[in-house]
Each structure stands twice: as C-alpha cells, then as structure tokens.
A and B are shown apart, each in its own frame.
Chain A
Amino acid sequence: MDGLGASHCYLRGPSDSLTVVEHCDKKLETSPILFVNYIFGFLLLLRTLLVFQPMPKKESPKLVIPKHMAVVFTDDAHVYLSCLIDIIAHSVFYGIEKLTFFDPWCILESRKYEIIAELRKFFESRPNQRRILFNEESDGEATKALRVTILGSNDGRASLVRACKQLCHSTEEVSIASVYEKLATEHIQDPDFLLKVGNLNSLAGYPPWNLRITELLSISSFEVQNRVQDYEFLRFLQAYSSRDRRIGK
C-alpha cells in the first residue's frame, strides 16, 4: 500500500510481461451500472492482454570494426588535439588496428610531437590499455598495438610521384603490388573506413591511391566541437557496419 491509500496488484500477461494494476481501496459499489463498468473495464483489459504482442526486438546490425580508419579534416576550424585524443582512445577500446589522420594544411603534422606528448600523458593513467605507436616507432614484439599515422598535403598525389621516381629505374614492369609496396614504406595504406569532418564534400587531397574501396562517411562537425563522444564514435562504427561492401560483384 502506498501513502495515497491505493494498493497495487501484479498481473502476469501471456508474454510474462508485468503489468501493474492499481486499484482503490474504495468498497465496490453495489450499483448495477458501476458493476457493469467494472466488468466492461476488466473485459477490455483482458482483450488487451490477449492480443498483446511484444514488440519484436529490432536487431542492431553486428558491429563490424574497421581494421584501418582514416579521419580527414576538410575545415581547419575542426582540427582539435582533444578530438584526436578522443578518437585514439575510442579506437583503442574498439580494437581498431590502424588510424590515419589527414589535413591538407599539415596542422597535425606540424604538431605531431605535441600530440605524442599529450597521448603519453593520457595513457599514463591507463597502463592496461593497448600500446599506441606512431610510424617511426617499432613495437619490438608482436603486440596488438594501435598504429597511428599523421599525413598532410605532401602525402597526397606527391606520394605517388615519389613511388614513380623509385619505380622508373626498375627493370621489372610497374605493377599494382609494387606501388603498394612503395607507399607502405611511408605508412600509407588503404583505410577501410574514412570519416570526413567538415562541410566540404571533397577528399581534400588525401592519398588518392588508397581510397579504392574505402567506405566514406561525411559529418559537418562533431557534436561537441572539440570532443568526440563515445556514443558518437559508436554511431560512426554502426554506419560503417551497415555498408554493403560488394567490391565489383
């Protein structure tokens, strides 16, 4: 009994769902009309329970984690260090193996050591997290480190020019594999998923060779300008998971 003088009784419906029926302590009136009302109400409730079908659980698609995710900033106003740290932290959590960041103004490239220092501070208090390595660093052992690459405008078409300059002296014919090999030495690889941040619907000079079958997702900005919330990052992964990667078939 609650303080209002009403009591509760519980009915288990056909699907074992619980329904709370509140009724008054008030004595049942013996008036025939009121009695009919009660019977009518009871019949209505019974009908509702009998036809009640629980809403089928909407199955969310299985989360597919991209092995390599790229983030491209097409608006220099969105390039925040805190966003990078958040994305790296979420990637560690979800098991992404490689992250590439790109902006055509080379803002991130110019602040690389600042980024590394901030990351070290952030992960000092989280010793059990996966290691994070930047390209120049070697992991020494076969650990599942998250590898982070920061690229700028000099890594776009220019990376293919550098590859061509090396391959033009080869005695063997140029092949797709040989170009991949040259780009890999600069840590430029195909991202499975590319998140483009900014209002410009352009790839802003991101290394073109590697976007062959990359799934693209555009957002104008993060919900909080200088942070990437965990639910937001999950939404990005869900969007990626829902894509149908047919590859020509």
Chain B
Amino acid sequence: MDEFHGSIDGEEGRIDDIKPEWFSNHHIPWWGCMAKRWLQLNGALPKHVAFIMDGNRRFARNHNYETVIEGHSQGFAKLTQVLDWCRELNVREVTVYAFSIENFKRSNDEISSLMEMAEKKFELLLEERPALAEHQIHFRFFGNLALLSIKLQKLIAEIELFTKDFDQGFVNICLAYTSQDEIVRAMEYIRKGVKLNLIEENDVNEWLISKCLDTKNSMDIDLLIRTSGEQRISDFLLWQCSNCYIHFDEVLWPDFTFKNIFEAFRAFQKKRRPIQRLSSMLEEKVCDEKTAKAQKFLKWMEDDRLNRMISLLEEK
C-alpha cells in the first residue's frame, strides 16, 4: 500500500492523494512525528474527539463539481484519513456527525445519493474485516437508525455485532442523529423502566441519563471540532459536550489537514486544566448504591437493543 506524505506548508492531506478505503494507512506527514512528540511533552492528548464534518457541499461548489455528492465523497475520503491520524495520535475514540435528522430536509436526490454512498462504504468496511480485526476497532452507530432503510440498518447491525468485542479503538458514526432525539430516546427508556418497576423516580440522575444515551459506553468527549467556519453545535452531542473544549475551524472538511488537527489539539491542551476544574465543579456526585441499583435496568435496556439488532439480521 502506498504511503502518503505531505509537506509542512499544509499541503499534506491533498484530497487527490487520499485512498477512499477505510484502512489505507494514511500516515501523518514527515514532520508529524516531531509534532506528536511536542504535543506529548506539553500535556495529555485528547482521548475522545468528536467532529462535525461540515463543508462538503461548499467544497464541491468551490471546485465546480457536477454534483454535491462528489463533495461528500471527498468528505468520506478525508474521514478515513483523519481516522488514521487520530490513531497515530493515540486518540482512542472518535465520533463523527455523518447525517442529521435535519438533513432529511435536503433534496431527494442528495439524500438518496448519500444513502447509496453510505451503503457502499459500509459494504466496503465489511469487506475489510481482516483490517478491522487487526486494528481491533469497534464501530458503533448512534442515531434513530429506524429512520434509515432496512438495508442500511442490516449493514450497521452486522458491523456493530462483528466489532462489538474489539476494544483498541472506537469509531462512532452518527447517522439519522440529533442530540435532542437521542435524549428523548434515553428518557423514553427510563419511562419504560419506571413502568416496569426496574427503577424509580429517585434513581433518575445525570449518571442514569448518561447511561441511557447512545454514548453510554463512550469515554467523555474531550474535544469537539467543527469545520467550515460555522459556529454552532447543530444538535450534536449537546449533553456530552456541555463542558468540553469546542474548536471552530474555518477550513472546509475535505481541506482539513494534519496542521488543522495539530492546532486543535494544541488549543485543547492550553485549556485542558481550567476545563477539568470546571467539570469537577459541575459533576454530579452519585453514590455507589444508586449505580448498583440501576444495573438491572441498564442490562434490560442493552439486551433490548441487542435483540432488536439480531432480529433485524435474521429478517429476510
């Protein structure tokens, strides 16, 4: 497999040089090792990074592509590269905002092209099972997946089940996702739990709600990066990012380079301690007794979710 190298002038990550497979081993540029060492000397690196990958359509327009879907295709290629960079930088978990429930308002052509692209990419991911097993990457999908086609839901279920025991790295893809929908689904599970007498009103606290969200098994998010210059959260991980470091970058997602990620990580490091102090102050104190009591309810909820995935795969 060809290695990719870039230059210090920010030309690394040129979009034409990126292979579109999931595991193409896009290495960091030649100066990246020094940059990584420098970051490590200056404090802890973020362990969980979330990305709002904004700017694909503007990228397509700027490059006079025939359709915006070509911009999304470049965006996917950039995603695979950024995942490799994150692995090199010892980022253990990455969450990406791939498709919002609000995006269903776009044209039918764009939506169907995006869904087709997603199907192809997930089929490709399943073809790369050896690489998945080698890297031990657990893929998870967050969102109201019932809004997606059955074919996509089955592909997603297959990927999640195949990788569910891998624990060296985590990639969370948010599809048909909004944070408010995620919170409502969590609260609905809690309401059902109360109805089934698995939990009571007094058991409801921040910890329990966190354990009912799609991100229930995720680490806390350290850093949220949004590209394209927009300065809003757009209904993405609102609960989880209520006190993380938020970094806005003007660059369009397909133009995102190693220099951009380096700058984001450096900015995060500078503010890590005051944010940690604030988090400690804001953190709810939950006693062990409450967490032990909720375990039965949480197991019921997880079994329910797994059974739904398995039933879906068994459907013809």
Which residues of A line the B interface, CB within 8 A? 74, 104-105, 153, 156-158, 160-161, 163-165, 167-170, 173-176, 179, 199-206, 208-209, 211-218, 243-244, 247-249
Contact = CB atoms under 8 A, between A and B. Distances in A.
Interface in B167-199: 178-181, 183-184, 187-188, 190-191, 193-194
A202 B244 contact: yes
A203 B209 contact: no
A214 B235 CA distance: 9
A214 B281 contact: no
Contact of B242 (A105, A157, A175, A249): A157
Nearest to B239: A208
A206 B241 CA distance: 10
Nearest to B267: A201
A161 B282 contact: no
B181 A208 contact: no
A167 B189 CA distance: 11
A98 B102 CA distance: 26
14 contacts: A164-B204, A165-B204, A167-B191, A168-B194, A176-B180, A176-B181, A203-B243, A216-B231, A216-B246, A217-B231, A218-B231, A243-B230, A243-B231, A248-B103
A243 to B, nearest CB: 8
B201 A211 contact: no
Contact of B105 (A153, A156, A199, A249): A249
Chain A at the B interface: SS class: loop
Given A153-B282, A204-B278, A165 B201 contact: yes
A217 B183 CA distance: 25
Contacts of B233: 211-212, 214, 216
Contacts of A212: 178-180, 233-235, 238
Given A153-B282, A202-B243, 9 more contacts: A161-B205, A169-B194, A200-B271, A202-B278, A203-B246, A209-B239, A216-B246, A218-B231, A243-B230
B201 to A, nearest CB: 5
B247 A104 contact: no
A134 to B, nearest CB: 24
B205 A175 contact: no
B184 A206 contact: no
B278 A158 contact: no
B201 A205 contact: no
